[in-house]
Amino acid sequence: ITKSLTKSDVNGSSRLLLPRKLVLDHILVYLDNVEVAAVYEEEGLEVTVLDVDTDTHHILAFKLWSSSKSYVLAKNWSSDFVRRRGLSENREIGIRWDRRPGSRSLEFTLFD
């Protein structure tokens, strides 16, 4: 999934909004029923996000944001990515689900 960061992704809202169709096509299809159910719960599914550029691992919550019916990465997004990496609006990022069975992790990279 590639995404150009929006103002709301980096303004302290503490969440990264992910394109719904791309999440359905490239993430949810690899989750088992228990994991998918967790995505729809208040706390979300705890996932490890590997920042491939810095070789660091971070724990975030992947969930459906009920107010907009959008999927988000939340919990430590602002501290672990926006501030640490100095992310700003219009920067291009990539997110990829690790498809190995049981991995429950994403890979993150900054393209520019």
At 23-80, the pLDDT tens digits run 999 999 989 999 999 999 999 999 999 999 999 999 999 999 887 789 999 999 999 9
- What amino acid occupies position 56? T
Between CA 52 and CA 106 the distance in angstroms is 10
Contact in structure between 36 and 58 (CB atoms under 8 Å)? no
Q: Which 8-state DSSP code applies to residue 30?
A: G
Note the maximum CA span of the chain: 36
Residue 93 domain boundaries: 2-110
CATH of the domain at 66: 2.40.330.10
At 2-39, the pLDDT tens digits run 999 999 999 988 899 999 999 999 999 989 999 999 99
Tally of structural domains, the chain: 1
Angle (nearest 5°) at CA 25 between 47 and 52:
45
How far CA 62 is from CA of 17, 46, 53, 90, in Å, comes to 10, 6, 21, 22
The pLDDT of residue 71: 96
* Mean of all residue pLDDT scores within the chain: 93
Between CA 33 and CA 35 the distance in angstroms is 5
Please name every residue paired with 47 in a beta bridge, in sequence order, or none if there are none.
Answer: 60
